[in-house]
Amino acid sequence: MEIAASDRRSLLSLIDQFHRQTIVVLGDLVADEFIQGEISRVSREAPVLILKQRGKQILPGGGANAANNLIDLEARAEIFGFVGDDASGEALLTYFQAKGAATGNIVRKPKHVTPTKSRVLGGLGHGHWQQIVRVDREPEGAPDEMTRRKLSRSVLGALPRATAILVSDYGYGSTSPREAEYLRQRLPRQDFPVTADSRYNMLAYRRLTALTPNESEMEAAFGQPMASSIETLHKFAAGMLRSSSLRALLVTRGREGMVLYQRQCSPHLLPIFGSDQVADVTGAGDTVIAAFTLALASGASFVHAAMVANCAGGLVVMKSGTATVTRRELRDAIQNA
């Protein structure tokens, strides 16, 4: 993606405002666990590899990853969500406390399972780690409506100091379209940015500032494959802007980049930033919505916010695992684009 000199100045000016922003992150807090093992031999009991464990790491995933990206972009993240009284929940709390982030709004629920995605990675010696299998541990049921509303009410106390709200709905029930509407009706001003990333319930989110789905989520929402047809995507997006009363829609398309849709505007295509030789797409959508929301909170137009998000997404997919982009990395990349 080429950046004109005038756009570059605007984007760099926006990034310089990141440290002044406070973003409320409401949603599903996920633990991404990575277990690295060196391949030693094939089991005699079954045709499977035996790994000698060499490392283990738990990183923030889902809404927690969006918050982690905001922190590394030097904004303040007010995190609202649930974790369980388990090792994964403890690991997330410890992680954020070590980074100096407030964890007082993260509710630790007894007998609740923190959603955890465990990825087993195998390698030979010092070679590249390759994912072999993923094991998900999920709560058996979602928090009830009263519990969700209590969490949403706690967000109200943060709104006077917040500059945007980011809703991360991975389907684990920490929030919902109804809770987003509850907050929208209590915003401090009409132009207050509220963005959402919803894995399974995207069409139910209405009257927000913007949504940031990927192309496969659009296909699932409309029940129709796009077969890489940009015209079909344009049609779906235009209908969604109208029916959901959104101001904007930012659709990520992997190696094809992104498309920004706004009311009464032509689609704005953004080619991929950087190389198309992707290392890992794990959590890239969280980076995109974090950078997009933060740019809007800093006063960006939708086009400039999408450019910032595109740059951040292009940088993070070059890293392995659930990764983040720092403010300095983003600034240097735009400066040198």
Catalytic residues: 286
- For 66, the token pair is 């969006």
